[in-house]
Chain A
Amino acid sequence: MSDNGTRLGVRKTYKLYIGGAFPRSESGRSYAVTSSKGRFLANAARASRKDARDAVVAARKAFPGWSGATPYNRGQVLYRVAEMLEGRRAQFVTEITDADGVPARKAGELVDLAVDRLVWYAGWADKIASVFGAVNPVAGPYLNVSKPEPTGVVAVVAPPMGPLLGLVSVFAPVIVTGNTCVVVASERAPLPAVTLAEVLATSDVPGGVVNILTGRQPELAPWLAGHMDVNGIDLTGCPADLALECERAAAENLKRVLRPQQTDWLADPGTSRMTAFLETKTVWHPAGV
């Protein structure tokens, strides 16, 4: 407390989230983030293609551990994220109110929905294999089993609207099945994404499983789409022309592509976002052995 009774504000530096750490952008750039009414909120890091590259390296490194963890364990970790998110409710309410210009009561409902969605996806962790796997009847003396497996490293372009709920709704289905991801947060409202990164960093999610970049989506998405070590890309947040460019680049290594589509984030999400980034492994086993 200074002599005249006013205290110097301690402001948060909004940084990237890569490999469990919070680095600034390698490029040193940042951009001003404003509220829905045009009021300055904070400077967010403006990630470069090299940050995207580093994030892919981190995601690749985290993949064996995360995909090898038991589904039960992954579910628990996701549930833990929901717990931590709940604990930061007030902070998210403020950030969503600022970003979207919605009343606090409505923002609170959105945070609750995001928490509930995480819990919902957490529950799927140990059920997805039973629902989408199968014991197949085949014309021969074999036991034939199909099992869904994670695709690998998935790039996610988060939707511009729904800075928290939209973000949770796109990254949770990707990681619950064992993928690791690089998320390009909403360009318009990145601050809740950085706060969510703080939630992830304190909730048993191994570093690198989720990497969050803030910045210009048209600058980052094509590099991720063309990256030969990215196995899938979710283009939800891309406008049509950017989505087309990304899809073309993604064809280079036959990435799984989830095209942008009109989505009501408030509605029950269904399983399609989880199954979009799964590979089915089928094993033929001599029967009776």
Chain B
Amino acid sequence: MVSTLTTAFADVVSSNATLRAFLRGLPGVDRVGADQRAAMLSTRSIKTTAKAQAIDLAIGMVDLTTLEGADTPGKVRAMCAKAVRPDPADPAAPHVAAVCVYPDLVAVAAEALVGSPVKVASVSTAFPSGRSSLDVKVADTALAVAAGAAEIDMVIDRGAFLAGDYRKVADEIAAIKQACGAAHLKVILETGELATYDNVRRASWLAMLSGADFIKTSTGKVSPAATLPVTLVMLEAVRDHRAATGRMVGVKAAGGIRTAKDAIRYLILVSETAGEEWLDAAWFRLGASSLLNDLLMQRQKLATGRYAGPDYFTLD
């Protein structure tokens, strides 16, 4: 059954016409319904031991990110130290999932993280706009992989996607997947530029059919970045995709997630939409920088019983 389905999906990506027919044939997203469901789930109250568990889980899912023009090797090393041991005062605090940097700083991060379970992720393919030739994008990816990146965050060509040239997007993802080799491929849909939830669903399927290991909401450079309803739509897509093909794809929400409360809302959404199997750093990630400090502050509040202050945590 699975093999026939996989074969069927292989046919889908064979031409622009079949892709268009498949993607446009996906059921539409009820915008109001998705917004409402996300809002309803976010009112759920998570307290005491469940909250402590959720905070530790969220810390373990963080992709600690710095994607600034002003990034220096020193800043990346400092961030790596924090990734391995987020709260120096409490060795029981879990390490984060990965650090995410630009390709030229991958080597620095990889060296700083030698022997630690924290992975190095790198953005590539002319991040964040993705406006370059395929050759440059492949070379960009190869550079990061050669420097030691275990995970590649690529951006899709939104221009081609919006123009209806789905085949071009699919081919690019497949080419980058090949350039990744053993590295995990996360495909950034940049939902803030896709305009509709229907497009988010289509782009999610397109990325999954083209070989993505993860689908990721945003670059963090465009507003709106990750939102709960958009993540809901993507989680539904990975759930449906597994039901159809048997292959599990991860989801990464990135950008605009700043508080522990927000992070816990995403965890609830994951659990209620995709299922508990996705509640694992291997299948769900939170791309963020300032979020980690808030998670640590909430963690300390639970441990000490008094509100924590940002003065007691490192800046990043």
The digit string for A15-59, where 1 denotes a CB below 8 A from any CB of B, is 000000000000000000000000000000000000001001000
Question: How many residue pairs between the two chains, A and B, have CB atoms under 8 Å in the bound complex?
Answer: 25
Q: Is the interface of A mostly helix, strand, loop or mixed?
A: helix
Complex CA–CA separation, A226 to B312 (angstroms): 14
Residues of chain B contacted by A228 (CB below 8 angstroms): 306-309, 311-312
Of A56, A226, A228, A249, chain B has the most CB atoms within 10 Å of the CB of: A228
Q: Is B115 an interface residue (CB 8 A)?
A: no
How far, in Å, is A59 (CB) from chain B's closest CB? 12
**CB of A227 within 8 Å of the partner chain:** yes
A56: which B residues are within 8 A, CB to CB? 307
Check B311 against A229 for contact (C-beta < 8 Å). Answer: yes
B33 beta carbon closer than 8 Å to chain A: no
Contact with A along B278-316 (1 / 0, CB 8 A): 000000000000000000000000000111111110000
**What 1/0 flags go to A203-245 for Cβ under 8 Å of B?**
0000000000000000000010011111000000000000000
* A53 proximity list for chain B (CB < 8 A): 307
**Is A253 part of the contact surface with B, judged by Cβ < 8 Å?**
yes
User: Is the CB–CB distance between A253 and B309 below 8 Å?
Assistant: yes
**Which residues of chain B are within 8 angstroms of A227 by Cβ–Cβ distance?**
306-307, 309
A249 to B311: give the CA distance in the assembly, Å. 17
Name B305's closest neighbour in chain A (CB-CB): A226
Contacts of B310 in A (CB 8 A): 229
Number of chain A interface residues as a range:
10 to 19
Instruction: Report the bound CA distance from A230 to B307 in whole Å.
Output: 9
The answer to whether B311 touches A252, judged by C-beta atoms less than 8 angstroms apart, is no
Task: Give chain B residues whose Cβ lies under 8 Å from the Cβ of A230.
Answer: 309
Q: How far is the CA of A53 from the CA of B310 in the complex (A)?
A: 13
B306 near A226 with CB under 8 A, answer yes
> In the complex the two chains form, what is the Cα distance from A252 to B301 in whole Å?
13
Question: Within residues 233 to 289 of chain A, which ones have a CB less than 8 A from any CB in chain B?
Answer: 249, 252-253
Interface residues of B in 210-255 (CB under 8 A from A): none
Q: How far is the CA of A150 from the CA of B207 in the complex (A)?
A: 54
A226 close to B307 (CB less than 8 A): yes
- The smallest beta-carbon distance between A82 and chain B, in angstroms, is 33
Is the Cβ of A223 less than 8 Å from the Cβ of B309? no
For the complex, what is the distance from the CA of A223 to the CA of B301, rounded to whole Å? 11
Q: B307, B310, B311, B312 — which one has the most chain A CB atoms within 10 A of its CB?
A: B307
Residue of A nearest to B312 (CB): A228
Which residues of A sit under 8 angstroms from B305, Cβ to Cβ? 226
Smallest CB-CB separation from A229: which chain B residue? Answer: B309
CB distance from A151 to the nearest CB of B (A): 13
Q: Mark B92-128, 1 if CB is under 8 A from A, else 0.
A: 0000000000000000000000000000000000000
Question: Which residue in chain B gives the minimum CB-CB distance to A53?
Answer: B307
A195 to chain B, nearest CB (A): 29
Bound together, the chains give a CA A214 to CA B166 distance in angstroms of 59
* A229 close to B306 (CB less than 8 A): no
Please give me the residue from chain B that is nearest to A52 by CB atom: B307
Complex Cα gap A223–B306 (Å): 7
A252 to B305, alpha carbons, bound, how many Å? 12
CA distance A205 to B307 in the complex (A): 27
Are B306 and A249 in touch, CB under 8 angstroms?
A: yes
Residues of A within 8 A of B306 (CB): 223, 226-228, 249, 252
Nearest Cβ on chain B to A116's Cβ, whole angstroms: 37
Bound Cα distance from A53 to B307, whole angstroms: 8
Chain B residues closer than 8 Å to A249, beta-carbon distance: 306
Q: Which residues of B contact A (CB under 8 A)?
A: 305-312
Additional A-B contacts beyond A227-B307, A228-B309 (16; CB < 8 A): A223-B306, A223-B307, A226-B305, A226-B306, A226-B307, A228-B306, A228-B308, A228-B311, A228-B312, A229-B307, A229-B308, A229-B309, A229-B310, A249-B306, A252-B306, A253-B309
A-B contact pairs, 6 of them (CB 8 A): A223-B306, A226-B306, A229-B310, A230-B309, A252-B306, A253-B309
